Amino acid sequence: MRSGRVGPSLVVALFLTDAAPVMAQVQSDGKSGSTADHSEFGILKKPFASGPEVTEACLACHTEAAEQVQESIHWTWDYTHPTTGQKLGKSRVINAFCGNLVSNEPRCTSCHAGYGWDGSMDGPPKAETAVDCLVCHDKSGTYTKLDNAAGHPPLTPVPANAKTITGAPAKPVDLNLAAQSVGLPDRDNCGQCHFYGGGGDNVKHGDLSSALYDPDRSVDVHMSKDGANMVCTDCHVTNSHVWAGSRYNVAAHDMVGTGKPGERRDVATCESCHGTAPHKAASLKGLKLNDHIDRVACQTCHIPEFAKGGVATKTFWDWSTAGDLKDGKPYGEEEFVQSDGKRLHTYLSTKGDFEWEENVVPHYAWFDGQVEYTTIDRKIDPTKVVEVNSISGSPDDGKSRIWPFKRMEGRQAYDSKLNNLVYTNVYGPETDTAFWTNFDWSKAIEAAMEKADLPYSGEFGFVDTYMYWPITHMVAPSENALDCEACHAEDGRLARLAGFYMPGRDPGGTVDRIGLAILLAAIAGVFGHAILRLVLRMGGRS
C-alpha cells in the first residue's frame, strides 16, 4: 500500500548535460537527516482515534503549520488568477474528466489535505485540527485515505469493500505508527493523490503516474534511482507550506534562471536549476541549442513522449454514451491492454466511452503561461469544439515559447438553451439524483446546478471539448532528447504550428532564399570563371 499525500501540480527541472547539483532529503547512508525522532515524543505515543486527534498533537509543537496550510491552494482549492481575474481552483472549474466538485464532495474531497470537507459551497473546514498532517508527512508507508470519506483514513472497523484513493482495498491505518514516523514529503506522499487524479492511475495528467514511484532512467531521469533520484519537492520547493508551480498561472518562460547566489524558492522551472543557457557552449551545437531557449521550452525537446513506464493515460472520454445498461444493470468493457498486461476500461455505464494511449507524442503550441478557463458562467458555441481551458501564446509576442501538452478530448454535458457547460452530480450512492446511481442526466444536472445556486434551463446536450495539460514530468535522459530533424522537417513534430518560419520545415523561407541566392551566385561564379578562361585562351591563340 502506498501512503497518501499531497504534493505538486506541475513543472519540473530538466536534467541536461551540465545539470546543477541535486538536492537530497535523504543522506547517502539512507538516514533521514532529521534532527528529531518523533517516535520519542510522548504526545505522539498516546492512542489516537481519529486523524484530527493526530493533528491536534502535531500543532502542539508546529503551532503555525495549520494556518499556513489553510492559506494554500492545497487547502482552499480556490484561486483568483492575478492577470485575468478569473475565479478558478478545483472547487470552481469544470474539467474533462470527472467534471466538477460541487455535489460530489465526499468523493472528490477524499484527496483534500484535510478531514471532513463534505460541502463545497461552504468552503473547506475552518478548524485547524481538520488539516491532515499525515497525508503529506507520514513515512510509515501505511497511511492512506478512503475514496469516499471526505479525506478521512480507513480506521477499524473498515467498511466492507472499502477502497483507498488509489483504488486499492482499504486496510485500517495505525495512526500511532503514522504519527511517530513523520518526515519531509516524498514521492509516495505526493503520488497517492496526484498520480491518481481523474479517477485512476495516470488518468488525468499523462505525465504523473505510479511509474514515477520507482522509474527507470528512460522514464524520468530526475526521479530514477539511477539518475538524480529526486522527489517532487526538490523542484516544487515550499515556503510556509506553499508550493511552487501552478497549472493556472504557469511560469512558461523563466528568464531569471538560478538566481545566483543560492537556490530560488519561488518557482519550479527548469531554469531555476539549469540556468538560462543550460547546454555546453564549448560546441557549435551547444551554442545553437542555447539559442533556442527563448523560443522553445526545455520540455519540448526533453520530453519527447509522456505516459511512459507502462502506465497509459486517458486521452478521450465521451460522457454522452454513459447510461447504457445490460439486463437493467450497469456494465463495463475492458478492450485496452496496457503494456504491463493490465486491462483498462473502454466503457462503463457510469462514465461512458474511453480511449487510452501510451508513449504519447505531445500536442505542441505557443504558450505564454496564461490559461483561461471556460467557467460555468461563460457562453459557448456548441457547434464548435469547446476548449475547457484555452492556452494563450503567439510566436510574435516576445514572451511565448513552444510547449508540449496533453490534449484531452471529450464530450461533455451543457445547457442546450443557455449555452453554458453544466455541473453534474455523479456521486451519491444514497441519493436519487446521482448519475452513477440512477443514470438520469436530467436529475444529475439539475441537482448539481441547484446546489451551486446556478440557473439551469432543464434542457441539455453534449458538446465536444478539448482540455490542455502542460507536460513537465517524465523527462528523458539528454541522449534521448529530440534531434534537430524531429522538428526541422516538413513533416516534423511542429509541422502544424503556423505563423512563423522554421528552417527545414518551410521551403522558400528567407533562409532558404538566401541559401539559394548564395548557391546561384557560386554557380554563376564558376561558369563565369570558366568562360573568362576560355575567352582568354582563345584570345592568346589568335
pLDDT of res. 526: 79
Asked if 193 and 165 count as a contact pair (C-beta separation under 8 A), the reply is yes
pLDDT of res. 326: 97
Q: pTM for the full model?
A: 0.88
C-alpha span between 475 and 302 (Å, rounded): 6
pLDDT of res. 18: 37
According to DSSP, residue 249 is labeled B
C-alpha span between 215 and 203 (Å, rounded): 18
Instruction: Using DSSP, state whether 413 is helix, strand or coil.
Output: strand
C-alpha span between 299 and 206 (Å, rounded): 14
pLDDT of res. 266: 81
Please choose, from the candidates 324, 496, 534, 315, the residue with its C-alpha nearest in 3D space to the C-alpha of residue 406: 315
Euclidean distance between the first and the last CA atom of the chain, given in angstroms as a whole number: 100
C-alpha span between 415 and 380 (Å, rounded): 10
pLDDT of res. 511: 63
pLDDT of res. 541: 61
* Chain position carrying cell 472497523: 157
pLDDT of res. 509: 66
Name the residue ranges covered by the structural domains of the chain.
44-183
Strand blocks (E) in 184-301? 238-239, 242-243
From first to last of its 542 residues, what are the pLDDT tens digits of the chain?
A: 343 333 333 333 333 333 333 334 455 555 667 788 999 999 999 999 999 999 999 999 999 999 999 999 999 999 999 999 999 999 999 999 999 999 999 999 999 999 999 988 899 999 999 999 999 999 999 999 999 999 999 999 999 999 999 999 999 999 999 999 999 999 999 999 999 999 999 999 999 999 999 999 999 999 999 999 999 999 999 899 998 988 898 999 988 888 776 667 788 899 999 999 999 988 888 999 999 999 999 999 999 999 999 999 999 999 999 999 999 999 999 999 999 999 999 999 999 999 999 999 999 999 999 999 999 999 999 999 999 999 999 999 999 999 999 999 999 999 999 999 999 999 999 899 999 999 999 999 999 999 999 999 999 999 999 999 999 999 999 999 999 999 999 999 999 999 999 999 998 766 667 766 777 787 888 788 888 888 877 776 65
pLDDT of res. 23: 39
pLDDT of res. 16: 37
pLDDT of res. 33: 72
Beta bridge partners of 413: 462
C-alpha span between 428 and 459 (Å, rounded): 22
pLDDT of res. 510: 66
Instruction: Using DSSP, state whether 306 is helix, strand or coil.
Output: strand
Please choose, from the candidates 71, 394, 407, 362, the residue with its C-alpha nearest in 3D space to the C-alpha of residue 252: 394
